[in-house]
């Protein structure tokens, strides 16, 4: 029974869909249509994160070392570019509440980030978790952006300034 649930969650991640037309990102957010979609099943780790993978999570890293989990409560950790001096820490994180209704929020830690071995999402690519309607993109020049189209919340990390909404 548990194996069937895992297979069903993985199959749901495979479906490809365009971003809903009802969502609107703020000015300055990259256009998701400018990024090539990747197969979400290549970004699951059922043996390392079995309980989260079975719940529909996908995991990725960026070339500049940011690690992300996209699912019921999404988060990323790393040295985010474009943060103010007050926001810098050995390990910054951005998190979304469990139900996705609240905006993402930046947090800091005085502990170093733990590096993952998750698959790298390359510049020019986007990864969509169709279960939770969240799309993340990686662009040239240390750009990482994610949008939860259910609630129009997300974040953007880039050297010219990073922010959440």
Q: Consecutive sets of 10 residues in the chain, 165 residues long: mean pLDDT of each?
A: 39 42 78 96 70 74 95 91 86 83 88 90 97 95 95 94 93
Q: What 3 state SS string does the chain have?
A: CHHHHHHHHHHHHHCCCCCCCCCCCCCCCCCHHHCEECCHHHHCCCCCCHHHHHCCCEEEECCCCCEEEECCCCEEEECCCCCCCCCCCCEEEEECCCCCCCCCEEEEECCCCCCCCCCECCCCEEEEECCCCEEEEEECCCEEEEEECCCCEEEEECCCCCEEC
Residue 78 is predicted with a pLDDT of: 94
- Can you give the residue ranges of every domain in the chain? 2-164
Q: What is the pLDDT of residue 25?
A: 83
pLDDT score, position 46: 60
The pLDDT assigned to 6 comes to 39
Residue-level pLDDT at 141: 96
pLDDT at 3: 37
What's residue 9's pLDDT? 42
């Amino acid at each position: 029974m548990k194996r069937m649930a895992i297979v069903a969650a993985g199959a749901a991640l495979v479906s490809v869909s365009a971003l809903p037309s009802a969502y609107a990102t703020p000015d300055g957010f990259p256009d998701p249509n400018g990024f090539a979609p990747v197969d979400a099943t290549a970004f699951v780790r059922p043996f390392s994160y079995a309980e989260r993978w079975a719940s529909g999570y996908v995991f990725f890293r960026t070339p500049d070392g940011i690690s992300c989990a996209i699912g019921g409560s999404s988060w990323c950790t790393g040295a985010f570019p474009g943060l103010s001096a007050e926001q810098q820490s050995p390990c910054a994180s951005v998190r979304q509440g469990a139900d996705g209704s609240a905006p993402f929020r930046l947090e800091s830690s005085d502990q170093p980030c733990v590096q993952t071995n998750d698959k790298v999402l390359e510049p020019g690519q986007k990864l969509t978790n169709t279960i939770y309607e969240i799309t993340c993109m990686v662009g040239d020049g240390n750009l990482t952006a994610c949008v939860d189209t259910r609630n129009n919340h997300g974040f953007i990390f880039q050297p010219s300034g990073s922010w959440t909404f």
